[in-house]
């Protein structure tokens, strides 16, 4: 689970278990919606892929495709 995915999960838990009014629920739905809209998840995905892609394993440079596969295998839910 990525950091952004973990944040979304925590916000959903708070919304489902600690909100006492409809206003609070609507607020948390809005925050979660902004995060899930793609901008933050996409930015995090790109950072993970880039970090993986520009790294080395056993002296072998990893290609971008490898980073993309790594992200999809590790963090897609």
Q: How far is 41 from 25, CA to CA, in rounded Å?
A: 22
Number of folded domains that form the chain: 2
pTM exceeding 0.75: no
Q: Are residues 4 and 25 in the same domain?
A: yes
Domain range enclosing 61: 39-77
pLDDT for 30: 95
Are 22 and 54 within one domain? no
One domain, residues 31 and 44:
no
Each residue's pLDDT tens digit, 6-57: 999 999 999 999 999 999 999 999 999 999 887 888 888 888 877 777 766 6
Predicted pLDDT of residue 61: 63
One domain for residues 28 and 43 = no
How far is the C-alpha of 13 from the C-alpha of 44, rounded, in Å? 22
Residue 63 has pLDDT above 80, yes or no: no
Q: Are residues 46 and 66 in the same domain?
A: yes
Indicate if 2 and 24 belong to the same structural domain: yes
Do 15 and 3 belong to one domain? Answer: yes
Burial class (CB in 10 A: 0-12, 13-18, 19+), 57: exposed
């Amino acid at each position: 689970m990525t950091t952004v995915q973990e944040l979304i999960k925590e916000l959903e838990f708070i919304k489902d278990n600690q909100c006492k009014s409809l206003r609070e629920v609507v607020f948390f739905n809005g925050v979660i919606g902004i995060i899930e809209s793609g901008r933050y998840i996409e930015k995090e995905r790109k950072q993970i892929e880039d970090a993986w892609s520009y790294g080395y394993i056993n002296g072998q440079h990893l290609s971008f495709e490898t980073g993309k596969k790594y992200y999809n295998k590790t963090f897609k839910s």
